[in-house]
């Protein structure tokens, strides 16, 4: 039961960790937002560390599986989005309401 709880907690913590890492990468050229991005990284890293401490060193496979699940989900959603954007049959038609017809 402890492993199931750890896995369920590890998935959203990993998602938050990836979001914070992306924020750091996005802010690397903007000096004003670098510190805020690094502060955003602190909480997911601390939560990941606490989870690692709670599950123990023997549970590394469980945490790696949660990490892999998040990566696979991220890549799948990215390529599915690219595929959906390229399909003109499912795109909506934009109607400009400002022009008088």
Distances (CA, A) of 72 to 67, 79, 86: 9, 11, 21
Residue 19 inside a domain? The answer is yes
**Does some domain include residue 7?**
yes
99 in any annotated domain: no
**Tokens 């805020």 belong to which residue?**
36
Q: How many CA atoms lie within 13 A of 9 on its CB side?
A: 15
Does 73 fall in a domain?
yes
Q: Is residue 67 part of a domain?
A: yes
Residue 101 domain-assigned (yes or no) = no
* Inside any domain, residue 56: yes
pLDDT of residue 69: 94
100: in domain: no
pLDDT at residue 80 in the model: 94
Domain count for the chain, please give it.
Answer: 1
- Residue 100: what pLDDT? 59
pLDDT averages per 10-residue partition of the chain, 101 residues? 87 90 85 83 90 88 92 94 84 72 55
The pLDDT of residue 99 = 67
Structural domain harbouring 57: 2-90
pTM: 0.72
pLDDT at 50: 92
């Amino acid at each position: 039961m402890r492993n199931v709880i750890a896995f369920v907690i590890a998935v959203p913590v990993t998602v938050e960790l990836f979001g914070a890492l992306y924020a750091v990468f996005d802010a690397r050229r903007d000096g004003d937002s670098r510190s805020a991005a690094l502060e955003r990284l602190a909480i997911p890293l601390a939560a990941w560390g606490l989870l690692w401490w709670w599950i123990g060193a023997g549970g590394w496979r469980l945490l790696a599986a949660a990490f892999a699940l998040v990566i696979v989900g991220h890549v799948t959603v990215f390529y599915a989005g690219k595929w959906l954007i390229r399909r003109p049959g499912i795109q909506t038609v934009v109607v400009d309401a400002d022009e008088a017809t």
